[in-house]
Structure 1
Amino acid sequence: MNGRYPFLVSIPHGGTAVPPELRGLVNLTHKEIVFNSDPYTRRLYGFDDAVEAMVDFDVSRVFVDTNRAPYDYPPRTQDGVVKAVTQDGTPVFRKGQTPGRELIGTLLQNYYHPFHKRLAGALDTRPIEIAFDCHSMLPKSPPVRMDAGRPRPLFCLSNRGDRNGRPTRAGGLVTCPPGWLQALARSFQAEFEGEGQVAMNDPFRGGFISVAHYRRRRIPWVQVEINRGLYETEDREAGEARLTELRGRIFAAITGFWDEVSG
């Protein structure tokens, strides 16, 4: 034993970089890019030497979203692997400058596929027993979603199932055993008792990363979403302390779950 937990931690949306291929085309300020990414997820889920593998991504999800299918892009979809609009409906690119198929192909080749190869490589070469795809979510559903304005839970844990982690139909796919997801939810609820709800598959059911890599290797995957209201504040010093505290509590919840199901 090397002292590490047998976890793969994926942090696909923590980056804020603009690919050089897109310079001069972008309609957003740096502040808007950060807001529409998953700020601070590298801090919150950066468990480093305590887990078998971590894979993160430098590019903002606005420009290359590794949690979307590689064939979902404008004009077919506005919220695909390359975004046409932000969460509040702001155009990502200057008028007439939305990338076409050739440029999107270059972005996929240079950034998207290498990220997924890193995930696959970790799953193929490391003793991984469960993978966590780690994200943050706005306190309320944004304007572009059908449930706009709806308050969100403290955490959302997803395996593509129903609100109890079970398949939505007979024989339906779930990326993690329902009993495991329920145990993980209990562990988070105990760690954050009295602070808010820990939900399963609501409002998110899990995205492309967890489904694609579960299908390939059948190693369980859970998508984890933390409510940004837990840590976003105007007080920089207080925010830094809160991030450090939350990182420890999230790790305690995940490892507590693992000690229960693997014992």
Structure 2
Amino acid sequence: MKYPFLISIPHGGVEIPAEVAGRFALLEQEIDWYCDPATRTLFDFGGSVEATIDTPVSRMVIDLNRPPLPLPPRDPDGVIKVRTVDGRQVYLPGQLPDLPLIHRLMMKWYFPYHQRIDELIDRYPVEIAFDCHSMLPYGSAEQNDAGKPRPLICLGNYGDENGRAKPGSLATCPADWITRLGDAFREEFGGTGDVAINTPFSGGFISNAHYWRKGIPWIQIEVNRALYEPQDTPVHQREMTEEQIPALRNKIWSVLTRFWDGIAVEMSREDHQ
């Protein structure tokens, strides 16, 4: 049995294309750390879902979860990074990609990713999509929650803390769905940390844009990296604890399937009324 899920993993890649190699002010290990380490493994549910999309390229080269405009330097944390989330310069002086190079990167990595999402939704019986990420345990210097501890799990649908649409906007999935998914995470991870909705992250460009384009419900999932990274080493030297990843993936899968089984039962009842 395949679950009708689309799994999007836009920030798990660590590759640096040749076009930008040697331009970075950050070390290779630091570049990896500013991505979403382990998410390509953590959210790899194989043939148990209808569709999965990820990318090998580092988000520090091109961020697939940002709108295509504005370009740098107007948005330092946009599709092309100028600064990290804690204020460090990404590129060496004079090495920030120029417009022709940005265009090549966008044509090679950015637009194909978004086109592929639409193709997967059109081709397979997808009924819900999850945009899957990890987050640092504390807010970084240039983020709205700077210095504050983060929940164990953050779920986003562009709504309020209860998943309801904010005035003048749309939520990317029903409030009941995201709150029920939150309850399933709390049940699975009971006693180990909080599960929050739309705080500190309410969703990114991928879930918002493709909900508008296709109407398929989207939920952004952020998993706290404290669940799989040791916190007693210098931040740019941390590596994931390999043996924790399979167990954590199994717990996340248990949550997603239990949540959807409940939703599917209710939809079936409604169809027969």
Check the 8 A contact 1:73/1:79 in 2, yes or no. no
Letter in 2 for 1:226: V
Paired residues for 1:80-159 under 5 Å: 80-159=78-157
Percentage of pairs with the same residue: 49
State the aligned residue count: 260
2: CA distance, partners of 1:146 / 1:13:
20
Q: Which residue of 1 aligns with 2:268?
A: none
Q: Report the alpha carbon displacement of residue 241 of structure 1 after superposing the two structures with TM.
A: 2.0
Matched, 1:183 2:187: no
Report the counterpart of residue 47 of structure 1 in structure 2. 45
Could you list the runs of 5+ residues in structure 2 that have no partner in the other structure? 266-273
The residue matched to 1:176 in structure 2 has which SS?
coil
SS at match of 1:20: coil
The answer as to whether partners of 1:73 and 1:83 remain within 8 angstroms in 2 is no
With structure 1 as the length reference, what TM-score do the two structures score?
Answer: 0.96
Where do residues 1-263 of structure 1 align in structure 2 (5 Å cutoff)?
3-169=1-167, 172-233=169-230, 239-263=241-265
**In the aligned structure 2, how far is the partner of 1:227 from the partner of 1:128?**
27
Separation in 1 of the partners of 2:169 and 2:87? 33
Alpha-carbon distance, 1:145 to partner = 1.2
Q: 1:72-129, CA deviations, whole angstroms, 9 ceiling, x for partnerless residues? A: 2211110000100112222111101111222111110011011111111101110000
Contact 2:145/2:200 (<8 A) preserved? no
TM-score by length of 2: 0.92
**Deviation sequence 1:203-238 (CA, Å, 0-9, x none):** 001000001100011000000000000110279999
Q: For the Cα contact (< 8 Å) 2:37–2:240, is it kept in 1?
A: no
**Structure 1 segments unaligned to the other structure (5+ residues):** none
Matched residue of 1:21: which SS? coil
Farther-moved stretch of structure 1 (124-133 vs 21-30):
21-30
Q: Indicate conservation of the 8 Å contact 2:77/2:83, yes or no.
A: yes
Residue 177 of structure 1 and its aligned partner are, at CA, apart by: 0.6
2:186 partner letter: Q
Q: Answer whether contact 1:8 1:51 (CA < 8 A) is retained.
A: yes
Instruction: Tell me, in whole angstroms, the C-alpha distance in 1 between the residues paired with 2:73 and 2:136.
Output: 26
Is contact 2:38-2:240 (8 Å) kept?
A: no
Please state whether the residue corresponding to 1:135 is helix, strand or coil: strand
Q: Which amino acid aligns with 1:44?
A: L
**In structure 2, distance between residues paired with 1:24 and 1:229:** 31
Q: Which amino acid aligns with 1:26?
A: F
Task: Return the alpha-carbon distance in structure 1 between the equivalents of residues 130 and 90 of structure 2.
Answer: 29
**Aligned mates of 2:146, 2:179 — CA distance in 1:** 27
Q: Does the Cα contact within 8 Å between 2:153 and 2:223 map onto a contact in 1? A: yes
How many angstroms apart in 1 are the aligned matches of 2:151 and 2:144?
17
Q: Kindly provide the amino acid, as one letter, of the partner of residue 81 in structure 2.
A: K
Give the letter aligned to residue 53 of structure 2: V
Contact in 2 for aligned 1:11/1:135 (Cα 8 Å): yes
1:173 is displaced (CA, Å) by 0.5
> Secondary structure of the residue that 2:131 maps to in structure 1?
strand
- 1:225 is aligned with what amino acid? E
